[in-house]
Amino acid sequence: MADTIFGKIIRREIPADIVYEDDDVLAFKDLNPQAPVHVLFVPKRALATLNDATPADAELIGKLILAAAAYAKREGLDKDGYRAVINCNEHGGQTVFHLHVHLLAGRRMHWPPG
Ligand code: AMP
């Protein structure tokens, strides 16, 4: 897949406010936050979209979501709750084509989303 701005963040070629890292996942604050807490969880091994995921990626995607949940718990966001979102392609509102999970918290979310 083509390189993206998230690849550059993973390689430390451009700065980001990194809040979590392990062997498989990097998490950093969204530049344009949509909630008081807005963190992006990105797999270091890139997939462009959720469409590109295969059963071979199940463990990686599981780790990505569990990293977001663990961060929420660590930050005390779990009781009030939060939203974890993966946008896919145009109708999903995806703008960066390196799969990522948005963790949004710190305010009440609305449903259905806009
Ligand atoms: P999506 O629209 O689901 O592809 O989400 C992409 C997100 O990346 C948006 O919420 C952007 O605000 C965010 N974003 C873009 N560039 C950066 C950056 N350099 N650092 C942090 N977040 C970014």
Give the pLDDT of residue 73.
98
CATH number at residue 42: 3.30.428.10
The minimum-distance atom of ligand 1 relative to the CA of 92 is 3
Q: What is the mean pLDDT of the chain?
A: 97
Residue 10, in any domain of the structure: yes
The string of DSSP codes covering 29-65 is: E-SS-SSSEEEEEEESS--SSGGG--GGGHHHHHHHH
Under 8 Å between Cβ of 42 and 102: no
pLDDT at position 1: 84
Residue 63 lies in a domain: yes
Domain of 49, in residue numbers: 5-105
Model confidence band, residue 59 (pLDDT cutoffs 50, 70, 90): very high
Enumerate the active-site residues. Answer: 100
Span from the CA of 30 to the centroid of ligand 1 (angstroms): 6
What's the structural domain count of the chain? 1
Residue 112 domain flag: no
Measured from the CB, is residue 31 less than 6 Å from ligand 1?
yes
For residue range 63-114, list pLDDT tens digits in order. 999 999 999 999 999 999 999 999 999 999 999 999 999 999 999 999 998 8
Nearest Cα neighbor of 42 from 32, 29, 31, 56 is 29
Residue 111 lies in a domain: no
